[in-house]
Chains A and B, each alone.
Chain A
Amino acid sequence: MTALSVPPTRAWTLDRVSGLRARPGTVVALAVVAFIVLAALVPGLLTSHSPNAIDLQHSLGKPSLAHPFGTDAAGRDLFTRVVYGTRQSLGIGLGATALAMFIAIVLGFSAGLAGGWVDVVITRVLEVAFAFPVLLLALLLISIRGPSMGTELIAVGIGSAPGYARMVRGQVLNVRESGYVEAAGALGHPRRTVIRRHLFPNAMRPLVAVMTLGVGQSIVWASGLAFLGLGVAPPSPEWGALLDSGRDYITTQWWLEILPGLLIVVVALAVTSLGRTLQHRLEGASR
């Protein structure tokens, strides 16, 4: 859906992203992330309005000092709604990424450690999974279970899992063939110890950065579903839901659609940039 998503092909993806320079915008990115976390934890700190205070006299207002993002059809302050919607959106992003990572780690480690037919079966399953783009897989699931936040979370989680799983498998194979794993074996450490001390931590290391990228990505996916009217539904202030309700005003009050969207873009950019910096650091430290 967006080009940011983790591509399912080839192991060099990790190298590719890490090859990018650490960007000067890291500080800005950190500030954005701090703002988002604050908005999710204590939204009242960032805005004095209430997200549900209806004020029909000031409906569909243009952005102003009092209402930086304008007001919606019911006269509610859009900026406040965005702030209050953060918790749910971030929750979906974190939840979906956690689910995807869990699946990926189970599949990737099983395939990479067991090898043989287990590896063949898992690799084939992943190959089939790649034939389903995330958005379409999500839509299939929604058509079966009906739209809800849970469905959205599961759909995005399952949809992005194969990409991570292939990455984890590649990492495990890399580390398994590494000199230090062989050296640990030559010292007479049991296989279990080698896996626990060397294989697991080293294979997991690059995933920290990938997970950061994944959270931004999941938020983008989920809000895309909502944009189509198939995710979290209005009047929830979840970001996707705000996009959904803003669509009716594209030709007249476009800011109701573009500003919440812009926020998603900024968050996605910030998280991506942080993820890359992290990746760059991690790669640099192990080389």
Chain B
Amino acid sequence: MSAVTLDTGPTVARLSARSGVRTARTVALKVVTAVLVLIAAASVTFFAQLLIPGDRATTILNLKTGRAQTYSPSELAPVKAKFGFDHPVLVQYLHYVGGLFKGNLGTSYTQYRPVTQVIGSEIVPSLVLTLLALVVAWVLALTVTLLTVKRGRVATALGSGWESLTASLPPYWIGVVLLVVFSVELRIFPVIGGDGVSGTVLPVLTLAIPLAGFLGQVTRDEFEKVLDQPFITTARTRGMGDTAVRLRHALRHSVIPAITLSGWALGALLSGAVIAENIFGRPGIGQVLVTAVNTRDVPTVSGIVLVVAAVYVVANLLVDLTYRLVDPRLGARS
């Protein structure tokens, strides 16, 4: 409707200015909420570290020596000083939360380096894997749904059957199956692939296939509902063909639920990535995390959990904004 700019009139200008301010305020509020959620998440991981049974400095020394024994205060003192245990808990807490804003996630119990360094470059391949999986999942889901939804009984049954099947597959199992079929039997991809192209395809599929099934189910359900809506009938009475009705009217409505789920999906994908990386020997936080859990390096585990939480929060913020673009009603109502 670009040509209707001849005379926007005062009402339009007033309306759009008001809604602009409103949008800005909503976005600001969302950002503040997101930051608060992160601080709360950090508090959880901080207090989780306090829950470690026994004295933490002793635990750290035990981890180093591989023995379980008690130490003299003089042996413990340097450890306590290095990890800041000599301060009151409240000070430690403020230091931990404050450190977040400076990109400081504490110190590893086993490696004696900042957690940010331990995670460091490992997070990048994991994020690449996750984002690729999200994109592939969307493409797969939309293709299957658009081709099969309300296209006769056979196509519908095939499509929804495929979706429920794939949506139920745990990533560890589908990963192993893909590995056995494509790497062990067919030898198309290397068994341990690294983070190059050949090492990325199978992990991405491992994560994308179940997610595609899930997004597909959500979208199909909505699509079926939308196709029964009166406005779809209206479009048909104007002389619109079936394909056009699906693409121009129904699609936009039916992706809304799947979009709102994508923020959550990104968080779930990152934890799925831990498993996929583990199966395919792909570098990323998965390897670091499993090692850290095994060695009971709580600060590193906490750090990774916090990073994932941050990704989740940011992703949901983006989803919220995208959602407003697809569905302007939300902005108008709030």
Question: Which residues of A are interface residues toward B (Cβ below 8 A)?
Answer: 1-5, 7-10, 12, 16, 19-21, 23, 124, 127-128, 130-137, 139-146, 220, 223-224, 227-230, 243, 250-251, 254, 257-258, 261-262, 264-265, 268-269, 272-273
Taking A1-B171, A139-B301, A251-B184 as contacts, is the C-beta distance between A131 and B41 under 8 angstroms?
Answer: yes
Q: Which of A5, A228, A229, A250 contacts B180 (CB 8 A)?
A: A250
B293 in contact with A143 (CB, 8 Å)? yes
Say whether B202 faces chain A, with CB atoms less than 8 Å apart. Answer: no
B37 in contact with A127 (CB, 8 Å)? yes
For A130, the chain B residues whose CB sits under 8 A away are: 264, 267, 312
For B40, the chain A residues whose CB sits under 8 A away are: 124, 128
Say whether B76 faces chain A, with CB atoms less than 8 Å apart. Answer: no
Q: Provide the bound-state CA to CA distance between A19 and B218, in Å.
A: 10
Taking A19-B224, A140-B45, A254-B184 as contacts, is the C-beta distance between A262 and B173 under 8 angstroms?
Answer: yes
Number of chain B residues close to chain A: CB under 8 A = 69
Which residue of the partner chain B has the closest CB to A135?
B271
For B321, the chain A residues whose CB sits under 8 A away are: none
Taking A10-B260, A250-B184 as contacts, is the C-beta distance between A228 and B274 under 8 angstroms?
Answer: yes
Q: Which label, helix, strand, loop or mixed, suits the secondary structure of the B interface?
A: helix
Say whether B304 faces chain A, with CB atoms less than 8 Å apart. Answer: yes
B264 in contact with A136 (CB, 8 Å)? no
For A229, the chain B residues whose CB sits under 8 A away are: 290, 294
The stretch from B9-17, B207-215, B233-241 touching chain A is B207-215
A2 in contact with B180 (CB, 8 Å)? no
Question: Which residues of B are interface residues toward A (Cβ below 8 A)?
Answer: 37-38, 40-41, 44-45, 48-49, 51-53, 160, 164-173, 176-177, 179-180, 184, 191, 210-211, 213-215, 217-218, 221-222, 224-225, 257, 260-261, 263-265, 267-268, 270-272, 274-275, 278, 289-290, 292-294, 296-298, 301-302, 304-305, 308-309, 312-313
Shortest distance from the beta carbon of B305 to any chain A beta carbon, whole Å: 5
Which residue of the partner chain B has the closest CB to A267?
B168
For B215, the chain A residues whose CB sits under 8 A away are: 3
A2 in contact with B168 (CB, 8 Å)? yes
A133 in contact with B170 (CB, 8 Å)? no
For B275, the chain A residues whose CB sits under 8 A away are: 1, 135, 224, 227-228
Q: Provide the bound-state CA to CA distance between A19 and B164, in Å.
A: 13
Which residue of the partner chain B has the closest CB to A15?
B221
Q: Provide the bound-state CA to CA distance between A132 and B45, in Å.
A: 10
For B184, the chain A residues whose CB sits under 8 A away are: 250-251, 254
For A223, the chain B residues whose CB sits under 8 A away are: 170, 172
Which residue of the partner chain B has the closest CB to A221?
B170
